[in-house]
A = this chain, B = another copy of it.
Amino acid sequence: MDMEKIQTIIKEFSTKRDWEKFHNPKNLAMALSVEASELVEIFQWLDLEQAQNLNSDKKTHAKEEIADIAVYLIRMCMKLDIDLEEAIIEKMKKNEKKYPLLDENGKKIDYGKKK
């Protein structure tokens, strides 16, 4: 993903509309959670099988909501000076430690050996 290109598109969009003044991190966190709920709304009355087999309209809708979430997420990273790729990789390393793999004897599996 060309993050620099996308950041430029997002930044120009809000600068041209004089919307930067609204993009306080508090407000952006709210907007992000509102978009996340718009994605939830698509799935709220579906059972698990229906959720796995969205029709074309619902899939297009989901794609747009996902894009909205991503835009606010990237906007937030720009405001807080966070490198998203680095943040993800660091967090996944932390998750690996938090949820260690166990072998059948309940011992931690040696990742190196496994591969």
Q: How many copies does the complex hold?
A: 4
Nearest CB on B from A115, distance (A): 10
Quick check: A64 and B91 within 8 Å, CB to CB? yes
Residues of chain A having any CB pair with chain B under 8 Å: 1-3, 6, 9-10, 13, 16-17, 22, 24-27, 29-34, 36-48, 51-52, 54, 59, 62-64, 66-71, 73-74, 76-77, 79-80, 82, 84-85, 87-92, 94-96, 99, 101
* Residues of B with C-beta under 8 A to A91: 63-64, 67-68, 71
CA distance A84 to B88 in the complex (A): 15
> Nearest 6 pairs between A and B by C-beta?
A37-B37, A67-B91, A26-B51, A33-B36, A36-B36, A30-B44
From B1, B32, B46, B63, A1 is in contact (CB under 8 Å) with B1
Given A34-B41, A48-B26, A88:B71 Cβ within 8 A: yes
* Complex Cα gap A64–B22 (Å): 24
B29 touches A43 (CB 8 A): yes
